[in-house]
Amino acid sequence: MPDLPTPQRSADPPAAGPLACALRWWRAIPLADRVDRRNAAMLQLVLVFVGLYQLIAMLMAWWRAGAAIDSVALWLAGFNALAMWVCFALLRRGAFLWAARLFVVVSLALLTVGYARWGLEAQLRGQLGQLLPVLIGGLLLSRRALWGAVAWLALVVALGAWRDAARMFFLPSLWPRVLEVAVGSLVGFVVVALVLDQSVAALRDSLALARKRGNDLARSRDRLQLEMQEKERSRDQLVHAQKMESVGRLASGVAHDFNHLLSLIMGYAARARRSDDPQQLKAALQGADAAARRAAAVTRKLLDFSRQEATRLEVFEPAETIAGMRPMFDQLFGLGVQVRLHLHEAPCPVRFDRAQLELILLNLAANAQQAMPEGGQFELTLAPRPDATLEIAVRDSGHGMSEDVRARCLEPFFTTKPSGQGTGLGLAVSANLIAAAGGALLVESAPGQGSVFRLRLPLHAGATAVS
């Protein structure tokens, strides 16, 4: 059955509908502050509503009254609608505060004209809408704007009450009714203003506290970033210092290993000078060549460290490696020490750096040679353990170590040798390398009873050993 072509999805997003475009335009008020944007969205809605309402009310009044319509009311409605749309235009250009101020001033001015012309009684039905300048001034501007609008409304109410009293020729019998209406209006305005003032004050205090906390958090964040950068610089300096220290230790370790290898090469050279037998000459040259190759491995480790290269791990048979080192052991110990290798015949592959294992065993053999100046026995036993590890036991019949020396022999730079004959790094580096491979280096020793170093490495199960 042939494969059907997979429809490709268009990279361009689908075109937005008119409603989505209108909503995006409605919300796109050029204000940076998030609170101002929210307030501006509310004011924008009020302006559109009032502007449309004034136009609709003016048209309906014209339709009902016709030519008998009050021209002042018509002009006031038209001017109010025009002012609302001017405020809307200012708001869309980002002049949020100017739009709010203009709305409050125009509304109060038109109320003043209305109360002066028609009086207080005629305005009672619309007093709920007359609270708009108070609400806008208190919510969007300031406490001063709130109480300024209330004071203006109080004057407007007084003006309307005076207009009603004048219409009734200031009859004393009608004053209680006028005062009752005026006081009721004033009390309503003041109560609304008080509630609004306290609520807005609480909101503004909460907002100021939140902004203060935000600023404190921002300063704390900046301070923390500076501290982190400072700690990062300190860490880099510490890493550099540790790197230099590691280079120094590595150089000491390289010198330590080179001393053993140079001793082997010099021993092979001395054997070649003392013998005229071609076979012995060939064996001496092969031994010197093997020692030189191991010296090259030491320099390779130094280069790997400088290049930050990983250890060259491989799976191999330690028995084959140890068997190949037999000539080196013989050359290192000479005729006064009996060298015995007990190697397990079954496959026991491990995953380790072959050159590092050779250097570890050479280091242990060199320590054993120095512990047996009068001669003795050196045994190297390789056998698997029940816990899936391979144990390489290096035993000598030397003078042994006290308990204090045995407990500290794996510490870096700890040595009992005279100055110039040891760095105290051989055993420490060996223990670290074995531990990094998941193994362990154990030491058993007692004064006059020799020493046993047990190298335990995990067996590499299911792998094919590399010869």
Q: Is pLDDT of 428 > 50?
A: yes
pLDDT in tens, 27-73: 888 888 887 888 888 888 888 888 888 888 778 877 776 666 677 77
pLDDT confidence of residue 7: 45
**The CATH number of domain 311-467 is 3.30.565.10:** yes
- Tokens representing 357 are 């294992």
pLDDT confidence of residue 55: 83
pLDDT in tens, 350-374: 999 888 898 889 888 888 988 898 8
pLDDT confidence of residue 73: 75
Q: Is pLDDT of 282 > 80?
A: no
Q: Is pLDDT of 4 > 50?
A: no
Q: Which of 146-155, 208-217, 386-395 has the highest mean pLDDT?
A: 386-395
The larger pLDDT score, comparing residue 242 to residue 218, is at 218
Tokens 């060996």 locate to: 430
Grade residue 247 by pLDDT with cuts at 50, 70 and 90. Answer: low
pLDDT confidence of residue 467: 43
The model scores a pTM over 0.75? no
Q: What percent of the chain has pLDDT over 70?
A: 81
**How many C-beta neighbours within 10 Å does residue 68 have?**
6
Query: Residue 426: phi, psi to the nearest 5?
Result: -60, -55
pLDDT confidence of residue 435: 92
pLDDT in tens, 227-238: 888 888 777 676
pLDDT, mean over the chain: 79
Q: Is pLDDT of 423 > 80?
A: no
Tokens 């997003």 locate to: 13
Query: Residue 107: phi, psi to the nearest 5?
Result: -60, -45
**SS3 state of residue 339:** strand
pLDDT confidence of residue 300: 62
Contact by Cβ (8 Å): 2, 62:
no
**SS3 state of residue 392:** strand
The domain limits of the chain are 29-223, 311-467
